[in-house]
Chains A and B, each alone.
Chain A
């Protein structure tokens, strides 16, 4: 008798519930529940900010967007009753005008709220300057390092160590970068000056031009903040750039070298142009980090209050680099931690966060669109 091709094929039909049915369902419900809980938290978080912050940005009057909030300087808010019992909320400058134009009238129940009046033009401008400066520095140093690592360096244990060190840089807490920036860029880097500060660590006199190289740092300034932020995102830029460079087909390099081009000509003419879109789109992701970090700029660049916008009241255009700036994330920290919350401060508090989130969302969306476009355009 021959053996049948399959013994008891009917055993393949299950009786009752499948094995482990309840465990399977439980696992699915539990894991799914946790995931949706996270989504719920995110939705509630954003809903809270949008609902509370929108009035800071939207007014019932045309043009609906409150341009004052985005373009006015940050001031102290004065809340008071006039003699007829009308309640006024005026930023400091308008309050002074009001007092001057109503001589002899007294105000009642006056309260002041720091940082809550006017708009947030200063912090927006400061963040823009910090972001642009940090990106320029980080792109220059990061792309240079990436080109060296990807195109020139031989794959030795030392280069692996260098790469590991760069990756580790990405894991350092941002407050450590802030302290590093403070101790190096604010207090120690060399500058050229005629009159070195007392705290200068070391001076090298240059008799020829009556100046000294003084290791006294840049003080708390825009340039120190940019440098600190640039250090923070260097690993992101280097890693992304190296990947983009490696994605350029080897054949391009072979062909170019075989036609008698030097290494650098090859890199400049037929590697960098194809890697650049990838480098830039990946770097856009780093922009959101630069724009959003508070810790690195706390000690190196940011001030809570500043009367002028960054470009006002400067001796020369370069003085902007050595002046302190306001910054959106630091402004949010100030509004949240340093002033009491009340119905009069909410506009500034939630409005600032909303503007900040919109800015970050805009940058993220921009980078995604750009990336998709570049991907479509560059195929080989």
Chain B
């Protein structure tokens, strides 16, 4: 079993326990026996070449993969705070409120900035204007967007720049108070400056949330993550503290990937 070589969050139990998980799309396997503990209140990065199963893994943590026809967990279990999230009687809506997600392509609704942030609260039936305002401000502050948009909360979210739109999506995700935040290549469509802002934001957010981030950008993984998992061909090759993975990788495949001589 692969475990972090050092565990700085030893005081907290792991937020997500992935045990021997195999996943298949229409019978075509995408993940093979992944076992991984994601520590609470830390940033865990998933790296690896395209098609290695990073996105499948992260998308199976909030079961958003369920909506893909033919996608299913073929073996193993994923436990969040000791609850198996693939048991039959799980409340999917509650699970997804606890496990927020931000997607690769920023996808704010074609509504106002305000309406985007309070969307989940409105769905939950919150009508109190004061409460909505407070949540909106807090979420936007947490996403480091408040100062930029406070004067135009009721303007369309689509008028924002790409980086702002992605931070709005983060604000929208944290407005429903999740415990775990999944980010699927959140900076893939952004320029370096916007990327930097999101990275700064993430190091702030890890005080409050357990963060899992999929990234193609190795520098990003070194800059902002505490732990890194390298995946290849649907298997977990190596998992450990980010510094160890990048400085002294144990597995030769990991070394080949991070030095760019993969082949």
Contacts and interface: CB of A to CB of B under 8 A. Distances in A.
Contacts of B105: 251
Interface string B99-135: 0110101011110000000011011000000000000
B103 A254 contact: yes
20 contacts: A249-B107, A251-B103, A251-B107, A254-B101, A254-B103, A254-B107, A255-B172, A257-B64, A258-B100, A259-B96, A259-B97, A259-B119, A259-B176, A260-B92, A261-B123, A265-B123, A270-B119, A379-B110, A379-B158, A380-B158
A155 B176 CA distance: 33
Interface residues of B, number: 27
Contacts of A379: 110, 158
Interface in B38-62: 62
Nearest to A252: B109
Interface of B: 62, 64, 67, 69, 92-97, 100-101, 103, 105, 107-110, 119-120, 122-123, 158, 169, 172-173, 176
A255 B169 contact: yes
Contacts of B96: 257-260
Interface of B is mostly: helix
Nearest to A377: B110
A285 B119 CA distance: 34
A255 B173 CA distance: 9
Contacts of B158: 379-380
Contacts of B109: 252, 255-256, 270
A338 interface: no
Interface residues of A, number: 21
A378 B110 contact: yes
Nearest to B108: A255
A238 B121 CA distance: 32
A269 B119 CA distance: 9
The 3 closest A-B pairs by CB, nearest first: A251-B107, A260-B97, A258-B101
Given A252-B109, A262-B93, A155 B69 contact: yes
Interface of A: 154-155, 249, 251-252, 254-262, 265, 269-270, 274, 378-380
Nearest to B98: A260
A251 B102 CA distance: 10
A378 B93 CA distance: 29
Given A260-B96, A260-B176, A379-B158, A255 B107 contact: yes
Given A257-B96, A269-B123, 16 more contacts: A249-B107, A254-B103, A255-B107, A255-B109, A256-B119, A258-B62, A258-B96, A258-B101, A258-B173, A259-B119, A259-B120, A260-B94, A260-B95, A260-B96, A265-B123, A379-B158
A154 B169 CA distance: 29
A155 B123 CA distance: 29
A274 B105 CA distance: 19
A134 to B, nearest CB: 31
B103 A260 contact: no
Nearest to B96: A260
A75 to B, nearest CB: 54
Contacts of A380: 110, 158
Q: Which of A154, A258, A269, A380 has the most CB of B within 10 A?
A: A258
Q: Which of B120, B123, B158 has the most CB of A within 10 A?
A: B123
A259 B69 contact: no
Contacts of A251: 103, 105, 107
Contact of A257 (B67, B94, B176): B67
A308 to B, nearest CB: 48
A258 B103 CA distance: 10
Contacts of B169: 255
